[in-house]
Each structure stands twice: as C-alpha cells, then as structure tokens.
Amino acid sequence: MTSIRTQVGIVGAGPAGLLLGQLLHLNGIDSVIVENRSREYVIDRVRAGVLEQGTVDLMIAMGVSAGLCRAGLRHEGLYLSFNGQRHRVDLADLTGGRAITVYGQNEVVRDLIDARTTTTRPLYFDAERVSIRALDTSGPIVRFSHGGTEHDLHCDFVAGCDGFHGICRPSIPAGVQTIYERGYPFGWLGILAEAAPSSDELVYTYHERGFALFSMRSPTVTRLYLQVPPDEAIESWPDDRIWEEMLERMRTGDGWQPNRGRIIQKSVTPMRSFVAAPMRFGRLFLAGDAAHIVPPTGAKGLNLAASDVLVMARALREFYEDGRTEWLDRYSDVCLRRVWKAQRFSWWMTSTLHRFPDESAFDHQRQIADLDYLTSSRAASTSLAEQYVGLPMEVSFEAAGLRG
Ligand code: FAD
Ligand code: DHB
C-alpha cells in the first residue's frame, strides 16, 4: 500500500474530471485524476457532439481550444422539420451572435488528456477497485489499485466526476440526497456513417414514425439518431433497416435527405432525466453526469458538466487563496439553478419532438401546433435559441481564475 497526497482527488476522466483538473492546474491547485477505463476506451467512446457557446468560450479561455478551433464546426442555425418541411431557426440572429459548435466529445476528451499530460500532473488510467472514504472529515481518501499496487490518495477534497454509473454518488449515505427522476418510453439509436453531411446544420425531425436527428462530426462523417423503443436490441437493426427508417423519417418535400454511407458505429442510448440533490456531501462534490442526467435532445449533458466544474473551480480557488468556504457551501445551490433550467429545456425538447406510445390524436395535433408556433413566432424561436446556445454560466471566467 502506498500513500499519495494531493489537494483535490478527481474520480473520473470524462469531460467533467478533465476540465476540472485543468481549471485547478491553471489556479496552481494540485490534483490527481483516477479513471477506471483505459486511455483508448475513454477517447473512443462516441457520445455528445454539440458545444454551447459558453463551453467553447471556456475552452478558449483555458487554452485547450487548438483542436476545437481547427476542426470544430460553428453552426449559427438549426432546422426543425415536421410535415415534410424544414424550418430554419437562426440562432445567431436571435441571440446577438451566439452559436453552437459541433465537435465530438471524444475529440474534447482527447485534447484535454493531451493538456493534462503536458502539465505532468498525475492521471491514472485502468485504476481498479476505486473507492472513497472519510468524506465527512477534512481528510477524505480515494483508494484504488493500479498495476497491482494499492494506493491511498489523501486529499482535502474529492471531486466525484465519475458519471452516472460511478461509485461516488452511491458512497453518499442513504437519506442525504433527494433523487428526482423521470423515464421516457423510448431510446435513441445512434450511428456514425462515412458520408458527407448533406446539410451544414443540424436537423431535428418530428415524424409520424418518431423523432430523428441529423448531425455530423466532420466534412466526411454524418451522425444520425432515431427514436426507438426503450431497451431496443441493436441486433434488430441491420444497416439496411437503419437507412430505410432514417430516410423515411428525414426526407423532406424538397427532396432533402441525408447521404448514405458505410455505418462505422451504432448503439442504443436510454433516455432519462435525473437529479441527485444536494450535489455535495462533506468534502465530496459531485459534478456532471455523476449528479444529473438529461435526455440528449437538448444536447446539454456535456455542457452541464462544464458549467458545474467552473463553479467548483471558483469555490476551490477561494478556499485555497484565502480560506473562505462561502462558495463551497453554495456550490450545490448555484449549480442546481442552471441544472434545473437545462433539465426543463431537455424535457421540453424531448416532449415536443418525440412520439409517445400513449398519445392521443389531440396530443399529436397539439405537438404539430407547438412546432408551427415555435418556427413562426420570433418570441418562441428566441426562447429556443437562447437555451440551445446555452444560458449564462453562473460564474465568470475571471472568478474561476481565467483571463478571458
Ligand atoms: P462521463 O463522460 O460519463 O465520464 C465519467 C468518467 O468516469 C468516465 O471516463 C468513466 O469511465 C469514469 N468512471 C466511472 N466509474 C468510475 C470509477 N469507479 N472509478 C474511476 N472512474 C470511473 N450528451 C449530449 O449532449 N448529446 C449526446 O448525444 C449524448 N449521448 C450520450 C450517449 C451515451 C451512451 C451516454 C452515456 C451519454 C451521452 N450524452 C450525450 C451525455 C454526455 O456524454 C455526458 O453528459 C457527458 O459525458 C458527461 O460528462 P461527465 O464527465 O460528467 O461523465
Ligand atoms: C448530437 C447529439 C445530441 O444529443 C443533439 O441534441 C444534437 C447533436 C450529436 O451527437 O451530434
């Protein structure tokens, strides 16, 4: 058993853990990141693709934006498609020039791992039997095994950035947190295809047969999603069936449809809304998916991970600079304010664009009217746009120790 000492022990090297590690580094605060998967697994995992304006600005201010600025695709609008017609929502025009950037989560993670490596601060991949203890003392411990050696990582604080299925949230004693949860009677089948994107902007489609989403990863790779029954077996979706269904739902009256290509990845994602509050127990602070999950329709998951850790960085900076705990004490409340607004938006986007098994003919017509209103009223489009490009972060970059 070896004993290691750091200021902040970070569990999980997803977007939350890696962004936090870099923010702390920029403030001269020491951390050790412990990840139970391999470097390759973490980088190859295909997930989100849409970065809010604020997340892009944050990565620029942190100095981790070289790849993002080179390969990220800035989108100043998106399409909502229904009744066979696409309607463009001009995000930039409606929000005073703000936009979203399409840049795969795996690229974000790769860039952040490179930045971490440059700092030479520790990042353990392939950690086994990760556990946390003494959370309600001033000396919490992250225990893990690496390469056959047991380590006790002694910290001032533990950042639980280990995602929805991690060990941090379940380490909080029963009764401390309230769980708010909502399921959905469908999931998303997602594919990556070797095909040039046939639209410069995302297309969210509401169709009789269910929701479909057109996105992309690069000038040669298209990313597409289909609403499917929950827990759908991917084996029941051979490639030909996927293409037939995608084209059926997405094709519009003017002949627009996605380009076909070889499918290089496919998987099914369940949908849920989940919040565990408060996001803190003693010296353990949860961030990102470890504390909350949104259905992916609003593209908010990764962006919420970024806004959580910005608040955490500010709180830890104040603690280490002048011993103040005010922001540590406010951490959960400050994060949850933004989290709940993103929860509401994600639930609303999901409800507006999906078909529900128990819906009536009335519900269906109301949904079409919702979309008609959304795309024909500037007030309604503005509400969508300002939430889609991202509501303001609760903390300024300066307060978190960044210049920009
Ligand atoms: P994660 O990215 O989950 O990172 C947590 C890290 O902790 C992982 O690397 C994990 O391996 C590690 N870990 C887990 N357990 C342990 C342990 N015991 N010890 C050490 N490390 C541990 N969002 C969107 O906006 N759009 C999408 O299309 C989208 N698709 C998604 C598809 C899937 C299958 C999933 C699971 C999520 C998707 N999301 C999407 C959500 C988005 O990817 C997440 O919100 C985002 O990854 C959150 O980042 P995080 O760092 O909080 O958690
Ligand atoms: C993507 C994912 C989303 O959840 C979304 O709402 C938009 C785009 C994507 O993977 O590109």
- What's the per-residue H, E or C state across the chain? CEEEECCEEEECCCHHHHHHHHHHHHCCCCEEEECCCCHHHHHHCCCCCEECHHHHHHHHHCCCCHHHHHHCEEECCEEEEECCEEEEECHHHHCCCCCEEECCHHHHHHHHHHHHHHHCCCEECCCEEEEEECCCCCCCEEEEEECCEEEEEECCEEEECCCCCCCCHHHCCCCCCEEEEEEEEEEEEEEEEECCCCCCCCEEEECCCCCEEEEEEECCEEEEEEEECCCCCHHHCCHHHHHHHHHHHHCCCCCCCCCCCEEEEEEEEEEEEEEEECCEECCEEECHHHCEECCHHHCCHHHHHHHHHHHHHHHHHHHHHHCCCHHHHHHHHHHHHHHHHHHHHHHHHHHHHCCCCCCCHHHHHHHHHHHHHHHHCHHHHHHHHHHHCCCCCCCCCHHHCCCC
Nearest CA, atom 13, ligand 1: 162
Distance 267 CA to ligand 2 centre (A): 14
Model confidence band, residue 404 (pLDDT cutoffs 50, 70, 90): low
Q: Report which bound ligand comes closest to the CA of 51.
A: 1
Q: Is 75 in the pocket of ligand 2 (CB under 6 A)?
A: no
Q: What confidence score (pLDDT) does residue 385 get?
A: 98
Average confidence (pLDDT) over 292-304: 98
- The tokens of 214 are what? 């057109």
Choice among 15, 140, 258, 296 that is catalytic: 296
Q: Is 104 in the pocket of ligand 2 (CB under 6 A)?
A: no
Q: What pLDDT, in 10s, does the model give residues 104-150?
A: 999 999 999 999 999 999 999 999 999 999 999 999 999 999 999 99
Percent of the chain with pLDDT over 70: 100
Nearest CA, atom 1, ligand 2: 49
Q: What pLDDT, in 10s, does the model give residues 141-199?
A: 999 999 999 999 999 999 999 999 999 999 999 999 999 999 999 999 999 999 999 99
pLDDT at 50 over 80: yes
Distance 256 CA to ligand 1 centre (A): 33
Average confidence (pLDDT) over 233-246: 97
How far is residue 144 from each of residues 156, 170, 380, measured CA to CA in Å? Answer: 17, 16, 50
Among 47, 128, 191, 297, which residue has the most ligand 1 atoms within 8 Å of its CB, making it the best to mutate? 47
Q: What confidence score (pLDDT) does residue 371 get?
A: 98
Q: Is 263 in the pocket of ligand 2 (CB under 6 A)?
A: no
Average confidence (pLDDT) over 297-316: 98
pLDDT at 5 over 80: yes
Q: Is 223 in the pocket of ligand 2 (CB under 6 A)?
A: yes
Distance 118 CA to ligand 2 centre (A): 30
Choice among 184, 206, 331, 388 that is catalytic: 388
Q: Pick the more confident residue, 231 or 39.
A: 39
Percent of the chain with pLDDT over 90: 98
Q: What confidence score (pLDDT) does residue 403 get?
A: 81
Q: What confidence score (pLDDT) does residue 77 get?
A: 98
Q: Is 172 in the pocket of ligand 2 (CB under 6 A)?
A: no
pTM check: above 0.85: yes
Nearest ligand 2 atom to the CA of 297 is 6
Model confidence band, residue 91 (pLDDT cutoffs 50, 70, 90): very high
Q: Is 297 in the pocket of ligand 2 (CB under 6 A)?
A: yes
Q: What pLDDT, in 10s, does the model give residues 207-225?
A: 999 999 999 999 999 999 9
Distance 14 CA to ligand 1 centre (A): 6
pLDDT at 46 over 90: no
Average confidence (pLDDT) over 342-348: 98
Cα separation of 282 and 275, whole Å?
A: 18
